[in-house]
Amino acid sequence: MPTDPGVPPAQGWRAAWAVYAHPRVAGMFFLGFSSGLPFLLVFSTMSAWLALAGVSVRDIGYFSWVGLAYSLKFFWAPVVDRLPVPGFTRFLGRRRGWLLVSQVGVAVGLAAIAGSDPGADLGHVAWLAVGVAFASATQDICVDAWRIEAVGMARQGAMAAVYQFGYRLAMLAAGAGALVVAARWSWYWAYMSMAALMAVGVITTLFIPEPDTRGTRAAWRDEARVMAFLERNAHWSPAARELAAWLIGAVVCPFTDFFRRNPWLVAVLILAFICTYRLSYFTKGVMANPFYLELGFSLEQIAAISKIFGVIMTMIGAAVGGWMVARYGLLKTLMVGLVMIAAAGLYFAGMTALPHEPWSLALAITIDNLGSGVEGTAFIAYLSSLTNVAYTATQYALFSSLWSLPGKIIDGFSGALVNFMGYEMFFLYSTALSIPALILLWLLMRRQARAAAEACRG
């Protein structure tokens, strides 16, 4: 992928919307559904089952650690990037081979959970949940790599948009859908039905093409750092040389490649921007539901407006974000999304002075979720633009961990901050978290403008 995200926008409105007609963009919708399905099944949906089974709140809290698999996936991303899957890679290719194995792993894990009893053997369920999370995070690695390699940069915004669309629909199925099935029948059928829905991803994987990376992905033995290492350490045993050389090619080179393609100051600027871009959104989101309840909104109103209407708004925002990336370029779309999220934070801060009517909540959800959709689409496309196709899975896993870990760390203090300063000041604080990202994005836009001017003069 190109290192400069300043991709020229498409000409005309019709051309911008036409990016959604590509068949691989359509395939991305189903892969997004497959990625989103397991997430809630090892988090909030499972927590409801555990609570009804009489599991203590303390033990339910421990289950949140299952989510570390999603934040730490960069540890095994080099394996997915570089090693074939015996029996699968030969027939499907490296990306689809790993993808199919991970999807089958999720389905089998969910079916095993369905046949378990958390009230009788919580440890067994915990290990199965870890296995599902690991397989799900591996699927995410593969889906991200396929998305980046399957189409050019001009369609990455559309790919990110339909990925979010599918992901959100899957979360509805795994959240509200699974709970309805559990209430009407049983938890066994809730999890078995979700395991069956993984067939959406399996069938998609069998039909989508393997990305053609010939000519762009050098064999790990041919990389300069690896060859230099082998020459310097000819006295080592063959096995030791092979292992060390593979680690350099799979783990070290993806790190150094990013800094080799970008001046160190620019690289630091980009990494700082990645770390700060979604801080405001994540911080505000943690306290949103308690805030709605504090204002007096009922659970039914929150479910209808926040969960159903909100998902629709996010999908619309994602589609608009994909169009904006194609029409206006990445950095401008990133700026629009960031400003919308900041505006939502200011509106939340002022909600205490507004009538506590459904329309005020609906307006808050509209601004926030539309901004989230635009922001999410643009950000996924931006991270995709930073990767080198030689290390797609590893580099994207690293970038995605950079933006998720800081948010999760700060999120843990949200409740204490609300107790200290109240909701109004808390949402002003969450809005202020957008300021570093706004400054960094402005600097990146200035750099892009200077590069474009120099290219014109040249």
Ranges of each domain in the chain: 1-212, 220-250, 262-458
pLDDT above 70 coverage of the chain, percent: 83
Q: Which of 179-188, 278-287, 330-339, 381-390 has the highest mean pLDDT?
A: 330-339
* Residue 253 CB contacts under 8 Å (≥ 6 apart), including other chains: 220, 223, 225, 226, 390, 391
Judge whether residue 290 has pLDDT over 60.
yes
CB distance 383 to 399 below 8 Å = yes
Superfamily of domain 262-458: MFS general substrate transporter like domains (1.20.1250.20)
Is residue 22 a contact partner of residue 322, using CB atoms and an 8 Å limit? no
Instruction: Decide whether 1-212 matches 262-458 in CATH topology.
Output: yes
Q: pLDDT for 235-270, tens place per residue?
A: 666 666 666 666 666 667 777 778 888 888 888 999
Lowest mean pLDDT among 57-66, 73-82, 322-331, 340-349: 57-66
Report pTM.
0.74
Q: List pLDDT tens digits, range 416-443.
A: 788 888 888 989 998 999 999 999 999 9
pLDDT tens digits, residue range 382-392? 988 888 777 77
pLDDT at 19 over 70: no
| Contact by Cβ (8 Å): 251, 226 | no
More confident residue, 206 or 404: 206
Give the tens place of pLDDT for each residue, 109-133: 999 999 988 888 888 988 999 999 9
CA atoms within 13 A on the CB side of 183: 8
Domain 1-212 architecture: Up-down Bundle (1.20)
| C-beta of residue 98 within 8 angstroms of C-beta of residue 80 | yes
Q: Per residue, what are the HEC states of the chain? A: CCCCCCCCCCCCHHHHHHHHHCHHHHHHHHHHHHHHHHHHHCCHHHHHHHHHCCCCHHHHHHHHHHHHHHHCHHHCHHHHHHCCCCCCHHHHCHHHHHHHHHHHHHHHHHHHHHCCCCCCCHHHHHHHHHHHHHHHHHHHHHHHHHHHHHCCHHHHHHHHHHHHHHHHHHHHHHHHHHHHHHHHCCHHHHHHHHHHHCHHHHHHHHHCCCCCCCCCCCCHHHCHHHHHHHHHCCCCCHHHHHHHHHHHHHHHHHHHHHHHHCCHHHHHHHHHHHHHCCHHHHHHHHCHHHHHHHCCCCHHHHHHHHHHHHHHHHHHHHHHHHHHHHHHCHHHHHHHHHHHHHHHHHHHHHHHHCCCCHHHHHHHHHHHHHHHHHHHHHHHHHHHHHCCHHHHHHHHHHHHHHHHHHHHHHHCCHHHHHHHHHHHHHHHHHHHCHHHHHHHHHHHHHHHHHHHHHHHHC
